[in-house]
Amino acid sequence: MVGKLNVDHNPNISMQFGIRNIPALLFFKGGQVVDKQVGAAPKSVLAGKLDAQM
Protein backbone atom coordinates (compact mmCIF):
# COMPACT_ATOMS: atom_id res chain seq x y z
CA MET A 1 0.00 0.00 0.00
CA VAL A 2 1.19 3.54 -0.72
CA GLY A 3 0.01 6.66 1.06
CA LYS A 4 0.75 10.34 0.77
CA LEU A 5 0.61 12.92 3.55
CA ASN A 6 0.66 16.69 3.33
CA VAL A 7 2.98 17.67 6.19
CA ASP A 8 1.71 21.25 6.14
CA HIS A 9 -1.81 20.03 6.97
CA ASN A 10 -0.66 17.28 9.38
CA PRO A 11 2.19 18.66 11.50
CA ASN A 12 1.54 16.27 14.40
CA ILE A 13 2.05 13.19 12.26
CA SER A 14 5.20 14.58 10.67
CA MET A 15 6.57 15.33 14.16
CA GLN A 16 5.61 11.84 15.36
CA PHE A 17 7.79 10.27 12.67
CA GLY A 18 10.58 12.84 12.85
CA ILE A 19 10.02 14.28 9.38
CA ARG A 20 12.13 17.43 9.14
CA ASN A 21 12.86 17.49 5.42
CA ILE A 22 10.79 16.71 2.38
CA PRO A 23 10.60 14.61 0.38
CA ALA A 24 10.69 11.86 2.96
CA LEU A 25 9.67 8.28 2.29
CA LEU A 26 8.99 5.90 5.17
CA PHE A 27 8.82 2.14 4.72
CA PHE A 28 6.48 0.31 7.10
CA LYS A 29 6.30 -3.38 7.84
CA GLY A 30 3.93 -4.78 10.42
CA GLY A 31 2.91 -1.27 11.40
CA GLN A 32 6.50 -0.24 12.24
CA VAL A 33 8.92 1.98 10.33
CA VAL A 34 11.64 -0.31 8.99
CA ASP A 35 13.45 2.09 6.66
CA LYS A 36 13.46 5.75 5.67
CA GLN A 37 14.64 7.74 2.66
CA VAL A 38 15.00 11.50 3.04
CA GLY A 39 15.65 13.63 -0.01
CA ALA A 40 15.63 12.80 -3.68
CA ALA A 41 17.07 9.44 -4.67
CA PRO A 42 17.57 7.58 -7.93
CA LYS A 43 15.05 4.94 -8.93
CA SER A 44 17.63 2.20 -8.32
CA VAL A 45 18.01 3.22 -4.65
CA LEU A 46 14.25 3.26 -4.07
CA ALA A 47 13.83 -0.07 -5.87
CA GLY A 48 16.55 -1.58 -3.68
CA LYS A 49 14.85 -0.36 -0.52
CA LEU A 50 11.53 -1.81 -1.67
CA ASP A 51 13.14 -5.12 -2.62
CA ALA A 52 14.80 -5.34 0.80
CA GLN A 53 11.36 -5.27 2.45
CA MET A 54 9.90 -8.10 0.39
Read off the pLDDT of each residue in 20-46 and give the average, rounded to a whole number. 94
Distances (CA, A) of 26 to 10, 17, 50, 54: 16, 9, 11, 15
Q: Where are the beta strands (DSSP E) in 1-54?
A: 24-29, 32-38
pLDDT band at 1 (very low <50, low <70, confident <90, very high): confident
- Enumerate domains of the chain plus CATH numbers: 11-52 (3.40.30.10)
pLDDT band at 2 (very low <50, low <70, confident <90, very high): confident
pLDDT digits (tens, 9 = 90+) for 7-28: 999 999 999 999 999 999 999 9
pLDDT band at 54 (very low <50, low <70, confident <90, very high): confident
Q: Check: CB of residue 49 under 8 Å from CB of residue 35.
A: yes
